[in-house]
């Protein structure tokens, strides 16, 4: 069996996608998952599929994309228009840069980035925002007005 045949044997027809720009049904991966930790589950409780090929483990949807469209450029990743992480339907996959995908997903970074103001209502303008290495944002106005003792503790 070729890798493509092994791959196809683990894909089953799924529900019609209700997301705009994702025509037709999802093709759901029934093979192994990359992780089964609840933290990594998508909005439908699904997980990114894992596929073993040439001694490597790759994400199932990435393999599907590369089979159809060619290699994924550095810095880019394959995103699901249908929002189902275990879908490998080519019509539902598109190349996006890493940041776009993070913002579009429903993870904590994405939810945070969509907020336009801090919890006290100061706007997250470029001048008033400090982005930490983990992607979370701090309000500079709040940091300035916080007592020095508290600032050291944080």
Q: What residues from 31 to 50 belong to the interface with Zn ion (CB under 5 A)?
A: none
Query: How far apart (Å, rounded) are the C-alpha atoms in residues 151 and 143?
Result: 7
* Per CB under 5 A, 85 contacts Zn ion: no
* Per CB under 5 A, 139 contacts Zn ion: yes
Considering the complex, state which of residue 13 and residue 142 has its C-beta at the smaller distance from Zn ion. Answer: 142
* Per CB under 5 A, 141 contacts Zn ion: yes
* Per CB under 5 A, 87 contacts Zn ion: yes
Which residues in 55-143 belong to E strands, given as ranges? Answer: 56-59, 76-80, 93-97, 129-131, 137-139
Chain residues that interact with Zn ion, rule: CB under 5 A: 17, 26, 82, 84, 87, 89, 92, 118, 120, 122, 139, 141-142
């Amino acid at each position: 069996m070729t890798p493509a045949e092994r791959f196809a044997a683990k894909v089953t027809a799924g529900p019609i996608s209700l997301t705009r720009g994702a025509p037709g049904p999802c093709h759901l991966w029934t093979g192994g998952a990359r992780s089964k930790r609840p933290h990594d589950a998508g909005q439908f409780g699904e997980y990114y599929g894992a596929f073993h090929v040439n001694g490597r483990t790759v994400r199932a949807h990435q393999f599907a994309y590369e089979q159809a469209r060619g290699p994924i450029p550095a810095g880019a990743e394959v995103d699901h228009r249908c929002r189902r992480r275990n879908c490998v339907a080519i019509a539902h996959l598109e190349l996006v840069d890493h940041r776009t995908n993070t913002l579009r997903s429903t993870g904590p970074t994405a939810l945070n980035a969509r907020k336009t103001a801090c919890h006290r209502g100061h706007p997250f303008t470029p001048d008033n925002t400090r982005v930490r290495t983990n992607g979370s944002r701090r309000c500079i106005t709040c940091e300035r007005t916080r007592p020095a003792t508290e600032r050291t503790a944080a």
